[in-house]
């Protein structure tokens, strides 16, 4: 029986379509109080006075906290680590300083949400305001070198400057991407409850329960074993719920002081400043190539904004280090500009989706400069060796992505000249792009328990963000144990379960999945042991390799001997049989091969020649994400990624007031995301194969990959349709008029 590879419907589907799935803000708690944040209206300066007297007397109010009354926190740990990731180092309500608009200046706790929100309006704040620094036209002059964050800030292989200078064909352009906000449907929410013995249970909208626990332990000064973090269903994460943000700390401390549970759900508008966002980038690319289109040099520099107090780096240049073969040299460099805003963070797909817009747009410009087909140009620069590390790729099906994707799209019917394709009065444009995505290897633990009734339970501290984690873990355990999937129950999202890693970087399947497979193997092997050497062992004297398992039945090859898991446990007087899985892989950078996912994507747009309105007509994505565990949920992730990219390409931008320094369009009316009517049918192809370097499951990352290179494919299609090269995202109508 093979559950892996089958398009199985979601294990948690019924809970989700009936409203029974409980998200963080849905958890019922007796005595829960409601908190509301009052935030700064200025972006730089300090509070001179905060008058809370009227608010404190308002009906239902338990307490009002300001920087004078909020208990002190320990500093966030240095260096930053995925093991205890703070969203920002500057902690809330600890001093009178204001470093960004929307910063908390007070927290009201009341009996009902309306009481808390109303009392918040009664607080009178006096500021000493200063003019904020914003990310703007002087950015290139104010940019500084940041300290290393996730990867080295700069990279150099060969001599890119010399190669570009000497190249027969050169493309040198600047490309920009906009500030964007995750805007998950589910607002960030926290419910903090302290037991009488000092144990904190935190119901949290997080992609990283164990990282949340560790950071809270450090900042709040309480032992880890006194903290439980729970996140069983997450209403979308996209990177924005991976790290710990200030409001979580406030809720935990307020609950401790008041000795009552505190629930704090951010408003939609507050999500623009209380939690992270994707910073804008200004990227400069120089490509050098021969007349045959073979790349000789790439220089890729990027500048992005970061707060006064942190150095978050958007590694837009990462893509240029490894996507295409380059004979002469590659350099990448990242700088930041310190401005008055909150700390940016990872947003689907961090680094890559921004860098690909620049690189794959420049590749399209190169194709036109030389007069070569964009697909042919990519094929000519394909490589099986990572130019950055010199290591061979574990698997790289770029050629197959280009071939299969192009064939499905009908790329051969495209006429290359801009404005050469029309449908009635509309201009039709077709564009494409290649894509690469980093593979993350992280340790993960899991436990699988076989029960006497023949069922099994999987327990692991990973998360369900929407990727289908409950379902794919069920499939992995079922196949490994030789059980039908419906016999397997999966428990996730609680720090009382075996420790897993953050659900970020498209890493859950490859890593948490591997731990589940190892745990199921361990349980299965213990069962096989019992058939060979246990009480009244049915296969006594046989060799392990001859024991087969199917549908919960252990069978000895070439005999009629068999026994079910249930009978085996009963015979041995066992209520359960437990297997532990401890997946502890070598870090990707230290492995023998370079592990990445790949894609080639093809877009067709329709452009109204009078209005400049761009509509996506159709889209084909071909993906090498290794072995696909569940084609149904994988396709859903892929179409979601494509649409995420459509937002980046055509709609999404968080606008900053140049004087006040605050985000302006803090709602779904001002910040446009794709709607159902914006999206045509989308086609996805999976062309990858089992990748043993990536994971024992053979899977590579998928979710983020699918949001990469949508924007350049659309931008290239817009150029093909109109003859206008738009180098600033999003591609809004005024840029085409």
Partner 1 sequence: MNPAATVTRGTGENTVVGDDARVPIGLTVNGRVRTMTVEPRTTLLDALRDELGLTGTKKACDRGECGACTVHVDGRRLLSCMTLAAMQDGKQITTIEGLERDGNLHAIQAAFIEHDGFQCGFCTPGQIMSAVAMIEEAKADWPSAATTDVGRPFTIAELSAAEIRERMSGNLCRCACYPNIVDAVAEAAARS
In the complex with partner 1, the residue whose CB is nearer, 201 or 503, is: 503
Q: For partner 1, what does the binding mask look like between residues 650 and 669, x meaning CB under 8 A?
A: -----------------xxx
| Nearer to partner 1 among residue 449 and residue 471 (C-beta) | 471
Binders in 213-272 for partner 1, by CB under 8 A: 233-238, 265, 267-268
* Smallest gap from residue 702 Cβ to partner 1 (A): 13
CA 391, CA 592: separation in Å to the nearest integer?
7
Residues in region 32-61 near partner 1 by CB under 8 A:
41-42, 44-45, 48, 51, 54, 57-60
Reduce the DSSP state of residue 94 to 3 states and report it.
coil
Chain positions 90 to 119 lying near partner 1, rule: CB under 8 A, are 112-115, 118
Residue placing its CB nearer to partner 1 in the complex, 18 or 590: 18
Q: Is the backbone peptide bond immediately before 79 cis, with ω within 30 degrees of 0?
A: yes
Minimum CB–partner distance for residue 604 and partner 1 (Å): 16
Q: Which is nearer to partner 1, 128 or 587 (CB)?
A: 128
736-to-523, 704, 710, 728 alpha-carbon distances in Å? 61, 29, 19, 11
How many Å apart are CA 44 and CA 119, to the nearest integer?
25
The answer to whether 597 touches 439, Cβ cutoff 8 Å, is: yes
Closer residue to partner 1 in complex, CB, 175/238: 238
- Residues numbered 287-306 forming contacts with partner 1, rule: CB under 8 A: none
Dihedral sign for Cα atoms in the order 359, 360, 363, 369 = negative
Site map 10..29 versus partner 1, x via CB under 8 A: x-xxxxxxxxxxxx-xx-x-
Q: How far is the CB of 633 from partner 1 (least distance, A)?
A: 7
347 or 516: CB nearest partner 1: 347
Task: Pick between residue 183 and residue 278 the one whose CB is nearest to partner 1.
Answer: 183
Q: In angstroms, what is the minimal distance from the CB of 459 to partner 1?
A: 21
Q: Which tokens sit at 721?
A: 């349709």
Q: Which residue has the tokens 């532990």?
A: 580
Q: Are 384 and 393 in contact (CB under 8 A)?
A: yes
613 binds partner 1 (CB under 8 A): no
| Minimum distance, C-beta of residue 587 to partner 1, in the bound complex (Å) | 29
Chain centroid offset of residue 308 CA? 25
Residue 543: CB partners within 8 Å, gap ≥ 6?
none
- The residue among 138, 181, 178, 150 whose CA lies nearest residue 339 is 138
592 scored as a contact of partner 1 (CB under 8 A): no
Site string for partner 1, 700-719 (x = CB under 8 A): --------------------
Distances (CA, A) of 185 to 52, 207, 247, 485, 506: 33, 15, 18, 30, 20
DSSP state of 188: P
What is the nearest approach in angstroms of partner 1 to the Cβ of residue 143? Answer: 18
Site map (CB under 8 A) of partner 1, residues 537-576, x = contact: ----------------------------------------
Candidates 635, 700, 720, 727; binder of partner 1 (CB under 8 A) is 635
Cα-Cα-Cα-Cα dihedral sign, residues 608, 614, 618, 624: positive
- Can you tell me the distance from the alpha carbon of 538 to that of 450, in angstroms, rounded to the nearest whole number? 19
Q: For residue 305, what is the enclosing H or E element?
A: strand 295-307
Distance of alpha carbon 594 from alpha carbon 322, whole angstroms: 9
Q: What is the 3-state secondary structure (H, E, C) of 505-564?
A: CCCHHHHHHHHHHHHHHHHHHHHHHHHHHCCCCCCCCCCHHHEEEECCEEEECCCCCEEE
Taking contact as CB under 8 A, which single stretch among the options 5-13, 135-143, 353-361, 596-604 is the one that binds partner 1?
5-13
State which residue, 123 or 458, has the beta carbon closest to partner 1: 123
Nearer to partner 1, 405 or 482 (CB): 405
676 is a contact residue toward partner 1 (CB under 8 A)? yes
Instruction: Determine which residue in the list 297, 350, 538, 640 makes contact with partner 1, applying CB under 8 A.
Output: 640
Under the criterion CB under 8 A, does residue 408 sit at the interface with partner 1?
no
DSSP letter assigned to residue 133: P
Shortest reach from residue 128's CB to partner 1, in Å? 6
CB nearer to partner 1: pick between 237 and 688: 237
Dist CA 570 CA 454 (whole Å): 10
Among the listed ranges 281-289, 321-329, 373-381, 460-468, the one in contact with partner 1 (CB under 8 A) is 460-468
Query: Do residues 600 and 454 touch, judged by C-beta distance below 8 A?
Result: no
Angstrom distance (rounded) from CA 675 to CA 668: 11
Cβ-based nearer residue to partner 1, 371 or 424: 424
Q: How far is the CB of 523 from partner 1 (least distance, A)?
A: 29
Q: Minimum distance between the CB of residue 278 and partner 1, rounded to whole angstroms?
A: 14
Strand duo 262-265 + 33-39: pairing: parallel
Helix, coil or strand: residue 734: helix
Q: Cα 342 vs. chain centroid, distance in angstroms? A: 19
Q: Which of 250, 36, 38 is nearest to 124 (CA)?
A: 38
CA 600 vs CA 70, 181, 396, 616: distances in Å: 52, 26, 12, 17
Q: Which two tokens stand for residue 125?
A: 């704040």
Residue 1 to residue 484: CA distance in whole angstroms: 8
Of 133, 402, 436, 476, which one interacts with partner 1 (CB under 8 A)?
Answer: 133
Q: Is 704 a catalytic residue?
A: yes
State in angstroms the smallest separation of the CB of 569 from partner 1. Answer: 31
Residue 376: both structure tokens together: 């042919």
Site for partner 1 in 465-524 (CB under 8 A): 465-468
Nearer to partner 1, 15 or 220 (CB): 15
Q: Does 68 bind partner 1 (CB under 8 A)?
A: no
Taking alpha carbons only, the member of 135, 218, 122, 219 closest to residue 179 is: 135
| 679, 696, 724, 728: residue in contact with partner 1 (rule CB under 8 A) | 679
How is residue 574 annotated by DSSP? -
| Residue from 5, 74, 95, 124 in contact with partner 1 (CB under 8 A) | 124
What gap in Å lies between CA 151 and CA 211, rounded to an integer? Answer: 20
**What is the closest distance, in whole angstroms, from the C-beta atom of residue 690 to partner 1 in the complex?**
24
Q: How far is the CB of 300 from partner 1 (least distance, A)?
A: 29
Cα dist from 37 to 28, 93, 107, 117, 324, whole Å: 21, 11, 5, 8, 48
Q: Of residues 168-207, which lie at the interface with partner 1 (CB under 8 A)?
A: 182-187
Residue with tokens 């197959």: 400
Residue of 211, 246, 374, 674 that binds partner 1 (CB under 8 A)? 674
Q: How many residues bind partner 1 (CB under 8 A)?
A: 87
Select which of 683, 704, 728, 734 is catalytic. 704
**Rounded least distance, CB 129 to partner 1, Å:** 5
Point out which span in 253-261, 291-299, 351-359, 671-679 binds partner 1 (CB under 8 A).
671-679
Q: Which of 333, 632, 725, 735 binds partner 1 (CB under 8 A)?
A: 632
Q: In terms of CB distance, is 75 or 658 closer to partner 1? A: 658
Which of the residues are catalytic? 704
């Amino acid at each position: 029986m093979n559950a892996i590879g089958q398009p199985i419907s979601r294990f948690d589907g019924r809970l989700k379509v009936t409203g029974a799935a409980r998200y963080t803000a849905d958890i019922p708690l007796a005595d829960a109080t409601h908190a509301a944040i009052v935030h700064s209206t200025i972006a730089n300066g300090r509070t001179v006075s905060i008058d809370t007297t009227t608010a404190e007397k308002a009906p239902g109010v338990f307490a009002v906290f300001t920087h004078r009354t909020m208990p002190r926190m320990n500093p966030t740990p240095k260096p930053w680590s995925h093991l205890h990731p703070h969203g920002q180092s500057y902690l809330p309500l600890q001093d009178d300083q204001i470093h960004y608009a929307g910063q908390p200046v007070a927290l009201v706790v009341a009996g009902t949400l309306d009481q808390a929100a109303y009392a918040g309006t009664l607080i009178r704040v006096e500021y000493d305001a200063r003019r904020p620094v914003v990310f703007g036209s002087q950015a290139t002059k104010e940019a500084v070198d940041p300290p290393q964050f996730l990867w080295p800030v700069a990279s150099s292989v060969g001599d890119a400057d010399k190669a570009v200078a000497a190249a027969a064909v050169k493309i040198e352009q600047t490309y920009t991407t906009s500030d964007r906000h995750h805007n998950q449907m589910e607002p960030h929410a926290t419910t903090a409850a302290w037991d009488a013995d000092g144990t904190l249970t935190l119901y949290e909208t997080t992609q990283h329960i164990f990282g949340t626990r560790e950071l809270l332990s450090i900042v709040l000064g309480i032992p880890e074993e006194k903290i439980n973090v729970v996140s069983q269903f997450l209403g979308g994460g996209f990177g924005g719920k991976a790290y710990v943000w200030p409001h979580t700390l406030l809720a935990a401390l307020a609950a401790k002081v008041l000795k009552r549970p505190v629930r704090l759900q951010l408003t939609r508008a507050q999500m623009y400043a209380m939690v992270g966002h994707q910073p804008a980038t200004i990227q400069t690319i120089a490509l050098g190539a021969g007349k045959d289109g073979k790349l000789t040099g790439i220089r890729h520099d990027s500048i992005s904004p970061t707060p006064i107090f942190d150095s978050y780096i958007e590694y837009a240049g990462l893509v240029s280090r490894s996507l295409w073969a380059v004979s002469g040299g590659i350099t990448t460099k990242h700088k930041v500009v310190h401005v008055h805003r909150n700390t940016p963070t990872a947003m689907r797909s961090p680094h890559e989706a921004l860098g690909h817009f620049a690189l794959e747009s420049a590749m399209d410009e190169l194709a036109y400069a030389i007069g070569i087909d964009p697909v042919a140009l990519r094929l000519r620069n394909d490589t099986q060796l990572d130019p950055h590390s010199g290591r061979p790729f574990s698997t790289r099906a770029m050629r197959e992505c280009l071939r299969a994707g192009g064939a499905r799209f009908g790329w051969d019917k495209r006429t290359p000249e801009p404005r050469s394709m029309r449908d009635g009065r509309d201009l039709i444009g077709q564009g494409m792009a290649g894509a690469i995505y980093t593979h993350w290897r992280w340790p993960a633990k899991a436990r699988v328990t076989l029960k006497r009734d023949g069922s099994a339970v999987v327990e692991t501290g990973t998360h369900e963000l929407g990727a289908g984690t409950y379902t794919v873990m069920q499939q992995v355990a079922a196949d490994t144990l030789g059980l039908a999937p419906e016999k397997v129950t999966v428990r996730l999202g609680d720090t009382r379960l075996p420790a897993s890693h953050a659900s970020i970087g498209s890493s859950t399947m490859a890593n948490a999945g591997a731990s589940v497979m190892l745990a199921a193997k361990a349980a299965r092997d213990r069962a096989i042991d019992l058939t060979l050497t246990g009480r009244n062992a049915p296969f006594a004297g046989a060799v392990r390799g001859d024991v087969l398992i199917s549908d919960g039945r252990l069978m000895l090859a070439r005999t009629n001997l068999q026994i079910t898991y249930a009978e085996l446990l009963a015979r041995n007087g066992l209520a359960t049989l437990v297997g532990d899985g401890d997946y502890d892989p070598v870090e990707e950078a230290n492995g023998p091969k370079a592990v990445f996912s790949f894609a080639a994507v093809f877009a067709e747009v329709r452009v109204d020649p009078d209005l400049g309105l761009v509509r996506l007509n159709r889209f084909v994505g071909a993906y090498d994400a290794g072995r696909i565990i569940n084609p149904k949920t994988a396709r859903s992730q892929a179409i979601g990624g494509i649409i995420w990219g459509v937002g980046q390409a055509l709609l999404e931008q968080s606008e900053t007031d140049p004087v006040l320094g605050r985000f302006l369009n803090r709602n779904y009316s001002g910040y446009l995301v794709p709607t159902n009517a914006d999206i045509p049918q989308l086609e996805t192809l999976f062309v990858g194969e089992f990748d043993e370097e990536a994971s024992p499951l053979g899977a590579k990352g998928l979710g983020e990959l699918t949001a990469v290179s949508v924007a350049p494919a659309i931008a290239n299609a817009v150029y093909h349709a109109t003859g206008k090269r738009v180098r600033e995202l999003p591609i809004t109508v005024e840029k085409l008029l």
